[in-house]
Amino acid sequence: MIHRTPWTILLSVVLLAAIGCGDSLVQDKQQSQRGDDAYLWAFDRIEPPETFPPHPRLFLNQTEIDALKAGIAADRAFRELVDAHLAELRPLAKSPALPTREIGDNLDIAKQAASFAVAYVLTDEAIFAEAAAAILKRYVEVFPSYKPTHIKGLATSAALEECVWAVDAAAAYDLIYNSGFLTEADKQAIEQTVFRASAEVLRRCNHAVRSNWRIRAVAGVAAMGFAIGDRELIDEALNGIRDDDGRLLRDGFVQHMAWSLLADGIYYERSQSYSEECGDAFAHVLEAARHSGIDLWNRPFEGSPHNAGADPGRHFGPSRPKTVRHAYDAVLYRSFGNGTLAKMANSYWDHLKRRDGWSAAWRAYGDDRYAWPLVCDPDGWLHDLRDLLFIPPKLPTGSIDFATDTQLGVTGRHENACTLLPNGGYAILRQDASRDAVSAAITFGDFPNGHSQADQLSIVVYAGGRHVLPDTKYFRYIDQHLTWSKQTITHNTVTVDELSQYPQGDSDDMWISPTKEKPLRGRAVFFHAGDDLKAVRAECNEAYDGVGYDRTIALVDSVVVDFFRCRSDAQHQYDYALHVDGTLADCSAPLGEPQPGPLAESYGYRHIVDLRRAAVDDQRIDLTHNTDDGAETLLHTTVLPAGKVELITGNGIEGLENERAEVVIIRKRARNADFVSVIAPAAGADGPLAVGPVDNLPDGVLGVEITKPDGSKTIILSAETSRTFSYKGRKITGQLALLRIAADGAVELIDAVP
Residues 315 and 460 in one domain: no
* CATH number of the domain encompassing residue 751: 2.60.40
In a domain, 178, yes or no: yes
In a domain, 399, yes or no: no
Q: CA–CA separation, 123 vs 167, rounded Å? A: 22
Sequence-ordered alpha helix ranges (H) in 350-415: 356-365, 372-376
End position of a domain, from candidates 659, 685, 711:
685
Residues 670 and 724 in one domain: no
Residues 680 and 691 in one domain: no
Helices (H) and strands (E) counted in the chain, each on its own, are 17, 27
In a domain, 107, yes or no: yes
In a domain, 642, yes or no: yes
Q: CA–CA separation, 169 vs 358, rounded Å? A: 21
Q: How far is CA 527 from the centre of its chain?
A: 21
In a domain, 404, yes or no: no
Residues 503 and 626 in one domain: yes
| Residue 189: count of CB within 10 angstroms of its CB | 18
Residues 382 and 501 in one domain: no
Residues 450 and 483 in one domain: yes
Residues 182 and 318 in one domain: yes
Three-state secondary structure of 133-177: HHHHHHHHHHHHHCCCCCCCCCCCCCHHHHHHHHHHHHHHHHHCC
Contact partners, residue 433, CB within 8 Å, separation at least 6: 337, 401, 402, 403, 417
End position of a domain, from candidates 654, 685, 716:
685
Residues 678 and 694 in one domain: no
Query: Which mean pLDDT values do the consecutive 10-residue runs of the chain (754 residues) have?
Result: 33 33 35 47 87 98 98 97 98 98 98 99 98 99 98 97 98 99 99 98 92 96 99 97 88 93 92 90 98 98 73 74 96 96 84 95 96 93 96 91 96 98 96 97 91 94 96 79 93 98 96 93 96 98 97 98 98 98 96 96 97 98 94 95 97 80 97 98 84 95 95 96 95 97 93 98
Residues 359 and 473 in one domain: no
- Would you call 234 helix, strand, or coil by DSSP? helix
In a domain, 609, yes or no: yes
* CATH number of the domain encompassing residue 217: 1.50.10.100
Nearest alpha-carbon partner for 326 in 402, 275, 254: 275
- Main-chain phi, psi angles of 115, to 5 degrees: -65, -40
Residues 616 and 747 in one domain: no
**0.85 surpassed by pTM:** yes
Query: Containing domain of residue 503, as a range?
Result: 425-685
Task: Kindly report each contact of residues 257-260 with a partner whose C-beta sits within 8 Å and lies 24 or more positions away, as own/partner.
Answer: 257/44, 257/301, 257/322, 257/324, 258/41, 258/43, 258/44, 258/301, 258/302, 258/303, 258/304, 258/307, 259/210, 259/303, 259/304, 259/306, 259/307, 260/210, 260/211, 260/215, 260/307
In a domain, 215, yes or no: yes
Angle at 35 between CA 34 and CA 40, to 5 degrees: 95
The confidence score (pLDDT) of residue 573 equals 99
Contact partners, residue 331, CB within 8 Å, separation at least 6: 265, 266, 272, 275, 276, 279, 341, 352
Residues 440 and 461 in one domain: yes
Note whether 419 and 330 are within 8 A (CB).
no
Angle between helix axes 76-94 and 106-123 (nearest 10 degrees) is 120
The confidence score (pLDDT) of residue 450 equals 84
Q: How many domains does the chain have?
A: 3
Residues 326 and 470 in one domain: no
- Main-chain phi, psi angles of 113, to 5 degrees: -60, -40
In a domain, 111, yes or no: yes
* CATH number of the domain encompassing residue 521: 2.70.98.70
Q: CA–CA separation, 294 vs 288, rounded Å? A: 9
Which run of H or E residues covers position 228?
Answer: helix 212-228
End position of a domain, from candidates 661, 685, 709:
685
